[in-house]
Structure 1
Amino acid sequence: MQQHRTSRVLIAGLAALTLIATACAPTGGGGQTTGTTAPDEKPVAGGRVIYGDFADIQRLNPATSNDATSSRVSGKIYDSLIIADYQTGEIKPWLGSWTVSSDGLTFSWTIDAKANWSDGKPIIANDFLARVKMQGRSKVTPNKSVFNDVEGYQDYSTGKATSISGITIDTANPKKFTVKFTRIFCPALANVFGAAPMPEHIFGKYTVDNDPSKTVDEAAENNAPPVASGPFKFKEWRKGDQVILSRNDTYWKGVPLLDEWVQKVVADSTVLAAQLKTGEVTAGLIQPSDVADLSKADNLKLYKWANNGYTYIGWRTNNANVAFLGDKRIRQALSYGINTDEIVKAVYFGEGTKQLAHHPPAAWASAPAAQLNAYTYDKAKAEDLIKQAGYTKGSDGFYAKDGKPLAITIVTNQGNKTRETFLQVAVEQYKQIGVKITPKLEDFTALVPKLTGGSPEVEAVIIGWQLSADPDPFTIWHSSNVASPTKAGNNFVGYNNPAVDKLIDQGRNGPDCTQAARQSVYQQMNKILNDDVPYMFGVSDNRILALDARMRGVLTGSFSPNGDWNVHEWWIKK
């Protein structure tokens, strides 16, 4: 099978995207590596994967989580209606199949007759409805807007209605349902139906139709799911140490071959590399700096592919503490004033390419590099732009205006040595253009809520996006998703551009949903973002997975960010 599991993701769906703690993001193309079974090898059951990561989970309920670590685990517990082909990103049936009305507004779904929860109860339409309801009423999800175009959803989300009029369940067959949209929604399959159904018989009690104050946000079952639809069941979470999943013997796609999947927290990428070599950890996404060493380890096999994401410096354009970041001249100066080509070579060891806008080369929506400003390192041009913005360099070598220095605190997640080095380079190179950078390291699980909650404590951040198969950038760049203390959002840099909003809406709502039409729209959007540079778009770095060399059945590609879309087929050669 040639598909990639989406629980979206984002991981969310987020069915759409996730914040990433590991150094991930892709280069171009849809390259893949495989650990396929040889003709003379016969799959055997047993064994476990111990996956190392330097971030712990936050929530295992995909309706409320937004980080890649949580999504990596919850994606093995909860299956989605659809799956993205791991090589091409094409959306294909998984837990269900669909038809679309002639006007493109109504999707009719049938959930697979074999699909069941691990407690034996069938997966039914009410479970998808439960997912939509809990996400709509959640106060912590930054992905509330995913379902905005479903008829009646926004009224339900705000408490104006006690039902979602656009979702209708077949009275004769509980596995059938329809979803009606208020307008054409081009990314519906990936974004809306990439949202994994959630067990209504477990979580339904937390969403009260006539009381919008009741939410699933603090449900005990969020981080101790009692049932699963995916290949693994939750067994135990030792906070700050590990999450243990056990094989789901009633999995509707067939009993998985592995006994357990363990997500183990490690201190940092250096420790991860060391434990991979000793076998204490048997899987993990590794840093470019560790490739040369780990490629020599006989007990490991490395898989490398172009990923659909990137690592960047995000500038808080709406933070009064750094109001100057609202000036495009300053942001452009910060792009000219850092040598990204050298960062690719020295920090990423050549494992990536310079990123110039939102969509990486692996995405069909990306704009040709020739159409974008490359922001070739130019110290003189950077300083000229700073001067144009009214700043004067002081005797200390730093620019200031009206007695206020051009100074920014940049934070990144502790433990990711590549990002920590990226930050060190930024401190030194920005000093050369008279910009004072204060570096800050913070635990990933503490950083993410500050980002999605619009905390003024964050002035700039080095972090990464893991994008979904559909390139819809609504939750990241649309002004309606600006993060604030009263409304969680993924647009945590506070970017607001009506022209970009219009293009995003056009890419989402057509009416022309052909790939060619949407590609044209997104290329225009990327050109604007390339000029506005709300991010220093950084690096699209290769995805590099280290696995126990005995592992078989592994198929990797750009649209399976963790390379584990078919983990139910993985097995360990004895």
Structure 2
Amino acid sequence: MRPLVWVSTLLAVVSLSACTAPSAGPSAGPAPAGDAFVIAISSEFETLDPVKGYAPDGGSMMFDGLMSRDADLSLKPALATAPPVISADGLSAVFTLREGVKFHDGRPLTAKDVAYTYTAVKGSPIGGDYEAIDTVRAKDERTVEFRLKHAYAPLAQRTTLGIVPDGGIAANKPVGTGPYRFVSWTPGDKVVLAGNKDYWGGAPAISSVVVAFAADDNVRATRLAAGEFDAAILPPKAAARFENQQGVTVHKVDSADYRGIMWPFKEKVTGDKAVRKAVSLALDRQAMVDTIMAGAGKPAFGPISPDTAWHEPSVTGKATPDQAAATKLLDEAGYKPGPDGIRASFTLMYPAGDSLRKELALAVASDAKKIGLDVRLAGLDWDAIEPRMAKDALIMGYGSPYDPDYVNFELFHSKFAGQGFFNPGFYNNPKVDALLEKGRATTDEAARKQAYQEFQRLVFDDEAWTYLAFLKHVYVIRGEYQGVKPSVDAHEHATGGLFRDLHTWKPAA
């Protein structure tokens, strides 16, 4: 998907309303010293406000949630003292807050701040993630109660959302409780952060951080090699030059992050399951992993990673092409070759600055041509891509290693059809809707697993997307640091992912 600001990171998976990147106001404080740790990412933020969709799944340096995630993705208390106390009927969850926590501007954290945050986020672009919440109220200064419309199994996981002060935050001065405080935002260039010396979890050893924006993969790699950046997130090919380089560490981190073809279901060609299935059969996914991704990944056939307990094993296919089966499928569906050998045509978009997606799009077009499908490629910027998603196919990315309710509900439920980057192809299957609703509402783990297994089988049968590969996220870091703890990444990594615990890193002796 479009890399904005969202889930477990500083990048997003939702289409947020535009938010002008502000510079710091007079009270932002001094810029950090020149020895700041500089991280290069590919996309500028659209907001730094959790209520508007920023980093709801944790990984923000400026904000804390009630809960956070450990390296093994298990939940642990953050602003809360313990996991929630859930009522017998599953309709109430009560959290107790830590004592003595303060926001960056000196205000004490109270239950009213939590209540405000969760009430306000329900009206945001990511409000669908919190629709099970009916009300949130402060019982006293340190106790907050969530009342639910129905039992909702992933509630505790949804409480990694960053807490903001009661009344909200100003666009030019984000205020949280996290290990780093906001200093400045230079549009098109960088965000500057300074260590929070009074952080409840301990002052960070890395006292200054700059998050620099560099959309082009090769530019990030070149500037990293020149010493302008201390760390960068790169596609595998761009990172290859740093392998075995003294003073540089390359981390290849497992992820639930996939790339695939999002299909527009209202168009004649792409809306035909025979065409979608034929494309899938024609693809050489293993070659994509081996060559384009330099081995940093694995073939994908569905939205849930085989590295998670929620994966349905029957959702799989051939990693190598079956052109005979593909052409037979097209023949049976009435797609006969014309004088030029072409059976049908469609456009496949990709973000022009993303070298990985560009190469995947080229591979799709090459493989599809072998079965008589003409794939017209269009490398565009995201502003040009977004209004065309209902008509043209797109190389997209999503994926979460957390609860299967994450991402899948918005991406495949029909009520989100056409809502920005949620279900942009207008996929609609009532059985899928019912299974996603069941998975949210029941707290019985066996029933939930059965629902999500059937969900995976249905979207696989529908060829709702044509999945290409699960990626390994590649981080290149100059110097050596103690406390680096890789985990299974979500789609968004940026300053989440490997950097989610940057405040605990210490330079190696």
Q: Same fold (TM over 0.5)?
A: yes
Match of 1:240 in 2: 188
Does the CA contact (< 8 Å) of 1:10 and 1:62 recur in 2? no
Structure 1 unmatched ranges of 5 or more: 1-8, 21-44, 152-165, 204-220, 400-405
Match of 1:75 in 2: 60
Pick the aligned partner of 1:59 from 47, 53, 74.
Answer: 47
Please give the alpha-carbon distance, in whole angstroms, between the structure 2 residues aligned to 1:50 and 1:258. Answer: 11
- Give the Å deviation of 1:353: 0.7
Is 1:565 the counterpart of 2:500 in the alignment?
yes
Pick the aligned partner of 2:136 from 162, 167, 171.
Answer: 167
Please give the alpha-carbon distance, in whole angstroms, between the structure 2 residues aligned to 1:355 and 1:199. Answer: 41
Q: Which amino acid aligns with 1:443?
A: D
Matches within 5 A, 1:281-320: 281-318=229-266
Is 1:499 the counterpart of 2:431 in the alignment?
yes
Q: Which amino acid aligns with 1:102?
A: A
Does the CA contact (< 8 Å) of 2:70 and 2:76 recur in 1? yes
CA distances 1:200-229 after superposition (whole Å, capped 9, x unpaired): 2444xxxxxxxxxxxxxxxxx33x334221
Does the CA contact (< 8 Å) of 1:312 and 1:463 recur in 2? yes
2:279 partner SS? helix
Is 1:103 the counterpart of 2:85 in the alignment?
no
1:500 partner SS? helix
Q: Which amino acid aligns with 1:200?
A: D
Match of 2:163 in 1: 197
Does 431-440 or 370-379 show the bigger shift? 370-379
1:542 partner SS? strand
Does the CA contact (< 8 Å) of 1:379 and 1:433 recur in 2? yes
Match of 1:519 in 2: 449
Q: CA distance change for structure 1 residues 517 and 74 in 2, over 3 Å: closer, same or farther?
A: closer
Does the CA contact (< 8 Å) of 1:365 and 1:471 recur in 2? yes
Match of 1:465 in 2: 398
Match of 1:409 in 2: 347
Pick the aligned partner of 1:229 from 152, 155, 177.
Answer: 177
Matches within 5 A, 1:45-444: 47-65=35-53, 75-87=60-72, 89-96=73-80, 97=82, 98-138=84-124, 141=125, 143-151=126-134, 166-170=135-139, 173-191=140-158, 193-203=159-169, 221-222=170-171, 224-318=172-266, 322-368=267-313, 370=314, 372-374=316-318, 376-399=320-343, 406-444=344-382
- Give the Å deviation of 1:17: 7.5
- Give the Å deviation of 1:282: 1.0
Does the CA contact (< 8 Å) of 1:300 and 1:546 recur in 2? yes
Please give the alpha-carbon distance, in whole angstroms, between the structure 2 residues aligned to 1:432 and 1:256. Answer: 55
Structure 2 unmatched ranges of 5 or more: 16-32
CA distances 1:482-518 after superposition (whole Å, capped 9, x unpaired): 224xxx4622222111111122122111141x2x442
1:361 partner SS? coil
Pick the aligned partner of 1:550 from 460, 480, 484.
Answer: 480
Q: CA distance change for structure 1 residues 90 and 306 in 2, over 3 Å: closer, same or farther?
A: same
Q: Percent identity between the aligned chains?
A: 24
Q: CA distance change for structure 1 residues 148 and 91 in 2, over 3 Å: closer, same or farther?
A: same
Please give the alpha-carbon distance, in whole angstroms, between the structure 2 residues aligned to 1:277 and 1:94. Answer: 36
Is 1:11 the counterpart of 2:16 in the alignment?
no
Does the CA contact (< 8 Å) of 1:149 and 1:182 recur in 2? yes
CA RMSD of aligned residues (A): 2.8
Q: CA distance change for structure 1 residues 267 and 12 in 2, over 3 Å: closer, same or farther?
A: closer
Please give the alpha-carbon distance, in whole angstroms, between the structure 2 residues aligned to 1:425 and 1:385. Answer: 21
1:63 partner SS? helix
Please give the alpha-carbon distance, in whole angstroms, between the structure 2 residues aligned to 1:121 and 1:439. Answer: 52
- Give the Å deviation of 1:421: 0.9
- Give the Å deviation of 1:12: 4.3
Please give the alpha-carbon distance, in whole angstroms, between the structure 2 residues aligned to 1:245 and 1:16. Answer: 16
Does the CA contact (< 8 Å) of 2:9 and 2:58 recur in 1? no
Please give the alpha-carbon distance, in whole angstroms, between the structure 1 residues aligned to 2:10 and 2:228. Answer: 32
1:129 partner SS? helix
- Give the Å deviation of 1:246: 1.5
- Give the Å deviation of 1:357: 0.8
- Give the Å deviation of 1:558: 0.8
- Give the Å deviation of 1:285: 1.8
Q: CA distance change for structure 1 residues 13 and 243 in 2, over 3 Å: closer, same or farther?
A: closer
Q: Which amino acid aligns with 2:240?
A: A
Does the CA contact (< 8 Å) of 1:17 and 1:468 recur in 2? no
Does the CA contact (< 8 Å) of 1:118 and 1:248 recur in 2? yes
CA distances 1:64-106 after superposition (whole Å, capped 9, x unpaired): 247xxx779981111111112222x222211113211122211
Please give the alpha-carbon distance, in whole angstroms, between the structure 2 residues aligned to 1:477 and 1:14. Answer: 22
Q: CA distance change for structure 1 residues 457 and 58 in 2, over 3 Å: closer, same or farther?
A: same
- Give the Å deviation of 1:342: 1.2
Q: Which amino acid aligns with 1:496?
A: N
Runs of 4+ with deviation above 4 angstroms: 12-17, 70-74, 454-458
Please give the alpha-carbon distance, in whole angstroms, between the structure 1 residues aligned to 2:315 and 2:422. Answer: 27
1:429 partner SS? helix
Q: Which amino acid aligns with 2:213?
A: V
Q: Which amino acid aligns with 1:147?
A: Y
Q: Which amino acid aligns with 1:564?
A: F
- Give the Å deviation of 1:520: 2.7
2:358 partner SS? helix
Q: Which has the higher contact order (CA 8 A, sep 6+)?
A: 1
Is 1:541 the counterpart of 2:504 in the alignment?
no
Q: Which amino acid aligns with 1:80?
A: G
Q: CA distance change for structure 1 residues 299 and 279 in 2, over 3 Å: closer, same or farther?
A: farther
Does the CA contact (< 8 Å) of 2:58 and 2:64 recur in 1? no
Q: CA distance change for structure 1 residues 197 and 447 in 2, over 3 Å: closer, same or farther?
A: farther
1:566 partner SS? helix
- Give the Å deviation of 1:457: 6.3
1:177 partner SS? strand
